[in-house]
Structure 1
Amino acid sequence: MDKIILTGCRFYAYHGALAEEQILGQIFVIDAELFLDLTAASQTDNLEDTVHYGLVFKTIKKCVENNKFQLIEKLAGVICQDIFDHFRLVQSIKIKITKENPPIAGHYNTVGIELERKRP
């Protein structure tokens, strides 16, 4: 299956199980892979035969910045459902959400989750 890829999308928001995260906020980095058939778009050169990744970015941004969840698993699920609701060509999604600086003592690059969902 073909895919559209968005990587390194950065948003400031207030998700997290710890009080500090919900008060101070932090940067969330999101990577998304949207799986769909791009055959028509590759032949027609018509935007209507694909998914506009600028609109996908706006959809992700709205989900991240306009909600507040304890779990990034919930945030990822909401993003997936919103993408399915707005982009009929998308058949499945892989989404990764990472936090670079959560309030965890230790040395690491990032912490995060990855979900894979198929259209219901």
Structure 2
Amino acid sequence: MIMDKIIMKEMSFYGYHGVLQQERDLGQTFVVDVELGLDLRVAGESDDPEMTVSYADVYEVVRRVVTGRPCNLIEAVAERIADRLLDGFLLREVLVRVKKPGAPVPGHFGYMGVEIKRSRETMEEN
């Protein structure tokens, strides 16, 4: 089975997710990567934009989740993104990475984050 990907990296949004009240009050930047698994052969052969997924539409879904209703955990943010992408587009699977560069943890680091991979099959099982 062919599994092509559309990859969108380093989408940056300001949101109010976190366990700490300070995170909920002040907010912070979240950086999201998505990999959309689907067959791109028809789109590639036909050069028809209708045969693929609109990057702008995917970006808007991610933006709405990250800037929308706060979650305690970035795990929940990632699940919301994955659910909405699988619901809204003809994808076989999606990989979502949510990064928190300003996580309130002492020490020096690039970011802390989560990565989940969900498929249409796992979505239908739940």
Q: What is the TM-score of this pair, normalised by structure 2?
A: 0.92
Alignment map for 1:1-120 (pairs within 5 Å): 1-88=3-90, 90-119=91-120, 120=123
User: For 2:19 and 2:40, how far apart are their aligned partners in 1?
Assistant: 39
Q: CA deviation at 1:102?
A: 1.5
User: 1-side partners of 2:117 and 2:53: how far apart?
Assistant: 18
Alpha-carbon shift at residue 46 of structure 1 (Å): 0.8
Query: How far apart are residue 54 of structure 1 and its match?
Result: 1.1
Structure 1 counterpart of 2:96, which letter?
I
Q: Gapped runs of 5+ residues in structure 2? A: none
- 1:26, 1:101 within 8 Å by CA — same for their partners in 2? yes
Q: How far 1:85 moved relative to its partner? A: 1.2
Q: CA offsets per residue over residues 21-51 of structure 1, 9 Å max, x none?
A: 1111000000100000001001111111100
3-state secondary structure, aligned to 1:70: coil
Amino acid at match of 1:59: V
The alpha-carbon deviation at position 105 of structure 1 amounts to: 1.2
Percent identity, aligned pairs only, is: 39
Residue 94 of structure 1, CA deviation: 0.6
Partners of 1:20 and 1:103 within 8 A in 2: no
User: Conserved in 2, the CA contact under 8 Å of 1:98 and 1:112?
Assistant: yes
Q: CA RMSD in A?
A: 0.7
